[in-house]
Structure 1
Amino acid sequence: MKVIAFKRDLQGTGASRRLRISGQTPGIVYGGTEAPVTISLDHNALYHALKKEVFHSSILDLEIDGVSQPVLLRDFQVHAYKQLVLHADFQRVLADKAIQMKVALHFANAEVSPAVKLHAATISHVLNEVEVSCLPGKLPEFITVDLSNIDVGHSVHLADLTLPEGVTVIAHGKNQTVATALVPPGHVSAEAAPAADAAPAAKKGKK
């Protein structure tokens, strides 16, 4: 995604307030081999971009006064109750230096899993994103969690994820649960239902 920005020289609370009144959002670019640069961005464009998942987990093409550079969105602040982006932080990335980034999880194939098909189970998503380490060119937009084999009472953990080549999960020594399957109270599985129906019939035959 491409982001257009402009260098700004005036800093401070008053200057930032005037920027916001004029429809701009103050920001900063740092990292890499260059000094930090304060910037301004079009507020409406930034506001709508922040609603897109890809904007938070992709290498962005930041153009400042006509010169482009690859960056990551590292932080942003929004107003407590207004639809207003107060500030945005971007970090430069180098092609040969690994980065750490949170990537969204997309869950797939739950409807064909034994847990859902046989037991009418509910799949609970424990994690919605994971932190990964990789070179900038290997950063995935998202990671797919395949739920096709999950059964009742079982879970999918970080170690079960299929990761793109060159991407590793930062687990901090914990094999965290990603998703789990549980039967809601009062639900009867497809396997248990025939057995329950057969029990009264067997008792009637004995009489």
Structure 2
Amino acid sequence: MDVLKIKASKREILGKKTRFLRRQGLTPVHLFGHGLDSLALQCDTPNLQRTIARAGMTRLITLAIEGDKQPRSVFIREIQREPRSGELLHVDFYQVKKTDKIRFDVPIILVGEAPAMKEKGRVLTHSLTSLSLECLPDKLPPNIEVDLSPLEEMDQAIFVRDLSLSPDITVITDPDQMVVRVSEARIEVEEVVEEEVAEEELVGEEAEGEEGEAEAPAEEKPGEKPAD
């Protein structure tokens, strides 16, 4: 896997004035990490967009800051966008040491086809969407691919303990947790039928009540004489 690199320069424009940076094609960035003072930086927006698309939140990036002798190893920690337009507003980088292990939640991706799904009336339940891992920064996989081809029968499942990972990686997630399962599709017919019956009974009761009111004689008001 090729190394992702991006350049940044130190930023003096802060707060609401950063909108002027965006007009110049620059995105405000913050760099922080354990035992590190936060640094205000800026990156070329098109280059940053391409890096985000390739790195996601789980791929190690080499960050070269203008004026620094040594590049830094970072992960993208947070991305802020304008809700309507999707414009990139701000990015946070988290610096790590290549010699220190880190813990990350890595997304699970289902690949291939489950033979059991060829039959009608079956559904594939994806119960676990990420896996908590511990490893050195350069050993962290961008995602975990789970092959569905072993699922050949109904109610067959794949658990965390079934996943094959590098010996350099420690899985923190419970090994007995289910990742994906083939099960029968359930159609809730009984509940609908019961609701229809209840509605019919209610309509019948209302109709009987109206008939009873129509047949009942009118009550005499106090002091009134019955009509001759």
| 1:91-147 C-alpha deviation (Å, 9 max, x unpaired) | 111122111222222323424x4x135x35443333333232111122112222132
CA displacement at 1:154 relative to structure 2 = 2.6
CA displacement at 1:39 relative to structure 2 = 0.5
Q: Which residue of structure 2 aligns with residue 195 of structure 1?
A: none
User: What are the equivalent positions in structure 2 for 1:9-24 lying under 5 Å apart?
Assistant: 9-14=12-17, 16-24=18-26
d(CA) in 2 for partners of 1:101, 1:134: 9
Aligned identity (percent) is 28
Contact 2:161/2:175, CA 8 A, preserved across alignment: no
TM-score between both structures, scaled by the size of structure 1? 0.75
Amino acid at match of 2:169: V
Q: Which residue of structure 2 aligns with residue 60 of structure 1?
A: 61
Q: Which residue of structure 2 aligns with residue 125 of structure 1?
A: 126
TM-score between both structures, scaled by the size of structure 2? 0.69
> Secondary structure of the residue that 2:19 maps to in structure 1?
helix
Equivalent of residue 42 in structure 1, options 38, 41, 44: 44
> Secondary structure of the residue that 1:2 maps to in structure 2?
strand
CA displacement at 1:183 relative to structure 2 = 4.2
d(CA) in 1 for partners of 2:40, 2:100: 23
Q: Which residue of structure 2 aligns with residue 155 of structure 1?
A: 157
Q: Which residue of structure 2 aligns with residue 28 of structure 1?
A: 30
User: What are the equivalent positions in structure 2 for 1:53-202 lying under 5 Å apart?
Assistant: 54-65=55-66, 67=68, 68-111=71-114, 113=115, 115-116=116-117, 119=119, 121-150=122-151, 151-171=153-173, 175-184=176-185
d(CA) in 2 for partners of 1:34, 1:185: 53
CA displacement at 1:51 relative to structure 2 = 3.0
Residues 9 and 78 from structure 1, CA distance in 2 versus in 1: closer, same or farther, beyond 3 angstroms? same
Q: Identify unmatched segments of 5+ residues in structure 1.
A: 187-207
Residues 143 and 174 from structure 1, CA distance in 2 versus in 1: closer, same or farther, beyond 3 angstroms? closer
Equivalenced residue count is 180
d(CA) in 1 for partners of 2:177, 2:81: 30
Pairwise CA RMSD of aligned residues?
Answer: 2.4
Contact 1:32/1:94, CA 8 A, preserved across alignment: no
Contact 2:112/2:149, CA 8 A, preserved across alignment: yes
Tell me which structure has the larger Cα radius of gyration. 2
Q: Which residue of structure 1 aligns with residue 218 of structure 2?
A: none
Contact 1:138/1:165, CA 8 A, preserved across alignment: no
Residues 182 and 22 from structure 1, CA distance in 2 versus in 1: closer, same or farther, beyond 3 angstroms? same
Contact 2:128/2:180, CA 8 A, preserved across alignment: yes
Contact 1:126/1:178, CA 8 A, preserved across alignment: yes
CA displacement at 1:18 relative to structure 2 = 1.3
Amino acid at match of 2:180: A
| 1:152-205 C-alpha deviation (Å, 9 max, x unpaired) | 11322223222222212332x58433211134469xxxxxxxxxxxxxxxxxxx
Amino acid at match of 2:5: K
Q: Which runs of 4+ in 1 moved over 4 A?
A: 183-186
